[in-house]
Structure 1
Amino acid sequence: KSNHFLRNRLFQVFPGRNKFLCDGRIIMARQTGILYFTISLILITVALFFGFECRLTLVTHLPFGFFIPIVCGLLFLFNMGCLLRTAWSDPGIIPRASPEENAYLERCLQDQQGRDENTHEYRPPPRTLDITINGAPIKLKYCFTCKIFRPPRASHCSMCDNCVENFDHHCPWVGNCVGRRNYRYFFLFVTSLTFLCLFIFGFSVTHIEGFWKRSKSVQEDILLHYILICFFSIWSVVGLSGFHSYLVGRSLTTNEDVRTWSKKRNRDNQNPFDQGGLWKNCCYVLCSPLPPSMINRRGFVSDDYVTPDS
């Protein structure tokens, strides 16, 4: 009985390469250095705006100048909330098969094996399943790490070592995979960051002319470099926001666009997950109910808890 005594939580023995905080309530990738860099970059940019630019806008945009820091603060809080929600939530990790489930699947696959009728040679069991979704053939691939047939749109992340439902990509900037359960927050993070950058850059540019007319000071030099940094960095954020807006409108993931349904590869290939229009796709991706997490991170497991690859 002692072998089955429940004293470990799942996050303490989880087989994937993840980092858990707050007693398993927060899940992240192990490589979080770039996430902290992302947070620092946003904080420094907003701090510079409040420290230098806001004082000018309060004077030059009277009587409504006090609304500018309020709007910027709200955009900043919303952006950071979306970033942390993306970084700290389960992206849609699919549990690995238990030893019993793996043994049952192997028996089912063995039942499908046989010998070639002509050569009488051994044929290994197939490791793919063919299904049809909305008239389009879909091939389900077997994951040799998780010992499961991956659902449609799922993929195995080599960084986190997990199969993720509706896998979009692994984003080091947010320190997590982006999948079904956190993609909408990632999209909102990218779009709100675009608006925040445009907001800050727009009000900064309005004062460039005044800087050149007056004698230069240390504060003006700092603000000028700050504006140049925003100008060159904003295009990458705008481009990323536009790309994911395109994906949302077509109900695609980054992984699918690159590998499977890219227009450049096959113009006749249709997306079986298209909901039938731009607005329907947007509502499906951004507004449909989120499924519950398939891994009970804080649930207790027995001492002899194992997975097929352990």
Structure 2
Amino acid sequence: MASRRVTRKWEVFAGRNRFWCDGRLMTAPHPGVFLLTLALICGTCALHFAFDCPFLAVRVSAAVPAVGAALFVLTLAALLRTALSDPGIIPRAATAEAAALEAAEAGRPPPRAREVLVRGRPVKLKYCFTCKMFRPPRASHCSLCDNCVDRFDHHCPWVGNCVGKRNYRSFYTFVVSLSFLAVFVFACAVTHLALAARGAGVAAALHASPASALVAAVCFLSVWSVLGLAGFHTYLASTDQTTNEDIKGSFSSRRGVSNPNPYSRGNACANCWYVLCGPLAPSLIDRRGVFTIDVKDELPPSFVRALGAVTVAPAPGGGAEPARHAYMNRSLDVEPAGAGAGAGAGAGAGGAVALSASRLRLLHDTTMIDAALDLDEPEPPPHLSVALPPLPPHPLTDCN
């Protein structure tokens, strides 16, 4: 009996990303520039190890090849980790969720943005007309990959991927390690030529080792931009900003009015620690999962239990409020905002039944609850309070 082929979620992925090794690896739709970056780094280092290292290991120190190899391995590992991993793609809204949101607006298009407060500062949740959802704060839609990315920094063609919440630290590691590697290889090539030119002259040294001259030229031309990029991203990490926010001037003073960054932790060390060493959020797209139309199959076990545990609470004026899932974020409710909630808060009581499994996972796994932007505390029903332990308290002020 012939077995039926299993369809993986990456095969029906809505974005433009390209997947490799049965969905284990993913890149942007056009990875050609990334291959050029890989070829430049590997080719330059190959010439360095073939011509400079043997000469300098004898004339200078045997540690020269070891240092070069360590920097090369670190740079290559960070590049591959950045280029081939999920940058923090946010799943698109399910059909039922998008339809419920449109129905809540009485047939009108959803508002372009809703406002929440982060540490007392208004932050807009912009509506994405492609993904049919209100994006979390700091998320943006990449037009090249056609996905919303959490904590979107920028789309980098040199690494062949978006840079976002899940791969920013590896991108920063790549840029910094590449800076050290370029400076080191350039210094080794110049040292090789300088030592070879003693007594024989510069022309003879260039004729004897043209590969070193080529390596020195490539490194000299690239090191300035790489060093500048490393310094720029060090500044961004120390202020807890993204490239997207810095270019738009999201936290710059306008017309004499101060607009401080609500995500900053007050000092550069704390910001760098959180951005570069904080907990890494799990991927939300489950690209190697089996594609199925059953929503419950997408949920982790805790959500499977919570999905069937909806509560009907008595309303103040009699009757009962609409049922809601155990895990719910009222800032993203899809009910009309007129039910006693302010227009800016976008709050409501119901609408949870329209949320897809991906959105429930989004509320639990991304910045909406677990990290710095706790828009609403999860409220498990009493009979699940033991089975589902509450999230640990977060030092930041809750957004109401």
Report the TM-score, using the length of structure 1 for normalisation.
0.87
Match of 2:327 in 1: none
Match of 1:35 in 2: 34
| Contiguous gaps of at least 5 residues in structure 2 | 296-400
User: Which structure has more RCO (C-alpha within 8 Å, separation ≥ 6)?
Assistant: 1
**Does the 8 Å contact 1:261/1:270 carry over to 2?**
no
1:138 to 105, 112, 123: 123
8 Å contact 1:110–1:125 — kept in the other structure? no
Tell me which residue corresponds to 1:73.
Answer: 69
Match of 1:244 among 233, 240, 246: 233
Secondary structure in 1 aligned to 2:105? Answer: helix
Structure 1 vs Structure 2 CA RMSD = 2.3
SS at 2:291 equivalent: strand
Mapped partners of 1:26, 1:211: distance in 2: 45
> Structure 1 residue 218 and structure 2 residue 207: aligned?
yes
User: Could you list the per-position Cα deviations for residues 108-160 of structure 1 after superposition, in whole angstroms to 9, with x for gaps in the alignment?
Assistant: 2229x7xxxxxxxxxx6523101111121111110000000000000000000
SS of match in other structure, 1:72 = helix
Alignment counterpart, residue 232 of structure 1, candidates 221, 227, 238: 221
Verify the 8 A CA contact 1:94 1:162 in the aligned structure 2. yes
Question: What residue is the counterpart of 1:149 in the other structure?
Answer: 134
Q: 1:104 aligns with which of 100, 103, 106?
A: 100
The 5 Å alignment of 1:152-163 reads: 152-163=137-148
Compute the displacement of 1:207 (Å): 3.5
State the alpha-carbon separation in 2 of the partners of residues 6 and 223 from structure 1: 53
Structure 2 matches for 1:12-91, cutoff 5 A? 12-61=11-60, 65-91=61-87
Match of 1:196 among 162, 176, 181: 181
Between the aligned partners of 1:266 and 1:26, the Cα distance in structure 2 is: 46
Secondary structure of 1:302's aligned partner: coil
How many corresponding residue pairs?
A: 288
Q: Distance in 1 between matches of 2:259 and 2:193?
A: 50
- Is 1:296 the equivalent of 2:292? no
SS across alignment from 1:132: strand
Alignment match, 2:171 = 186
CA displacement, residues 250-283 of structure 1 (integer Å, 9 cap, x when unaligned): 0000001011336486772211110111111011
User: 1:198, CA displacement in angstroms?
Assistant: 1.1
CA distance in 2, matches of 1:219, 1:153: 54
Structure 1: distance between partners of 2:286 and 2:51: 47
Tell me, what secondary structure is at the counterpart of 2:52?
helix
Structure 1 match to 2:272 = 282
CA distance in 2, matches of 1:82, 1:125: 40
Is the partner of 2:283 in helix, strand or coil? coil
> 2:157, 2:142 → 1: CA distance?
12
Matched-pair contact (CA < 8 Å) for 2:185–2:215:
no
Gaps of 5+ in 1: 114-123, 306-310
Residue of structure 1 equivalent to 2:113: 128
Structure 2 Cα separation of the partners of residues 280 and 140 of structure 1:
26
Q: Distance in 1 between matches of 2:280 and 2:255?
A: 31
User: Aligned equivalents of 1:263 and 1:231: distance in 2?
Assistant: 34
Structure 1 equivalent of residue 301 of structure 2: none
Cα distance, 1:230 vs structure 2: 1.4
* Residues 251 and 261 in structure 2, CA contact (< 8 A), matched pair in contact too: no
Whole-Å separation in 2 of the counterparts to 1:300 and 1:88: 21
Distance 1:129 1:6, change over 3 A: farther
Match of 2:243 in 1: 254
Between structures 1 and 2, the one with greater strand share: 1
Instruction: Write the distance in 2 (CA, Å) between the matches of 1:12 and 1:35.
Output: 23
Aligned with 1:55: secondary structure? Answer: helix
Amino acid in structure 1 at the alignment position of 2:219 = C
Shift of 1:32: 0.4
